Amino acid sequence: MLLALDVGNTNTVLGLYRLDVPVRAPGASSASQSEGERELVAHWRVTTHRTQTSDEYGVLFVNLFNMHGLAVDQVHHIIISSVVPPVESTLRRVCEKYFHLQPIFVEPGIKTGMPVLVDNPAELGADRLVNAIAAYERYGGPCIVVDFGTATTFDVISAKGEYLGGAISPGLGISADALFARAARLGRVDIKRPQKVIGTNTVTHLQSGLYYGYIGLVDGILERMIKEIGTDVRVISTGGLARQISADSRYIAQIDDMLTLDGLRILFERNRAARPRARAH
């Protein structure tokens, strides 16, 4: 099986894929899930800790596997995308010590199959590239991926499968944190969709401003991007806050919670080769 890890600033998402799933016979009825989703055995979301040791991560991963009746020796390949450099060497040690494998990292030199038409391709975050590859593979182009995480990223893919560029804005969570930190008389509230835009107390005032204000930000950027592309565009959202925000967007047509994990699976298949097992310690 393949273990895919997407290491973000706030959360790390793990997905375990069974490879070489039999292909559906011609003429068979379509399954309700895509091929990538049918291969997903288990997935988890944990907090990213920059100071956690390899043994602490290792114990966590082993326990997650055990809770699902799985064993680490069932994993034969590991692929990792990370936007948190301090964690990468730690995870490499975890892979070697607990899985006895050398992981593949999404980094310059990996075969992507997607031209990256930006000024400096090396600057592009691994997660954004993975999202773009998965979106084009699953939905075709042109398309835009909106990833709601610590930051909210917008990634544009052409009809030919080229990565054209995008935008980055502060995520909803850190936008709210900044407001609460700088306004002494405003207490923290649960960020959710209020029943009405016009609030009648401080809590609903904040919820309305944060929720609908953020939708305005997202739709404003999408409207201008779609206008620049000048054709029909499919907009896909993913990330921890995707389901909370996407429902009221005028442009988001699809929510895909597993987009990044499936992109990692696709990238692994494009770079598949015998990976040596690390010597047990």
75 annotated as a binding-site residue: no
23 annotated as a binding-site residue: no
- Residue 127 is among the residues annotated as catalytic for this protein: yes
202 annotated as a binding-site residue: yes
11 annotated as a binding-site residue: yes
Whole-number Å distance between alpha carbons of 36 and 269: 12
Catalytic choice (127, 155, 256, 262): 127
7 annotated as a binding-site residue: yes
271 annotated as a binding-site residue: no
150 annotated as a binding-site residue: yes
Residue listed under structure tokens 């649960």: 190
8 annotated as a binding-site residue: yes
Contacts of 72 (CB under 8 A, 6+ apart): 61, 62, 65, 98, 99
59 annotated as a binding-site residue: no
Binding residues, by number, are 6-13, 125-128, 147, 150, 202
Binding residues for ATP, by number, are 6-13, 150
Catalytic residues: 127
Binding residues for substrate, by number, are 125-128, 202
Binding residues for K(+), by number, are 147
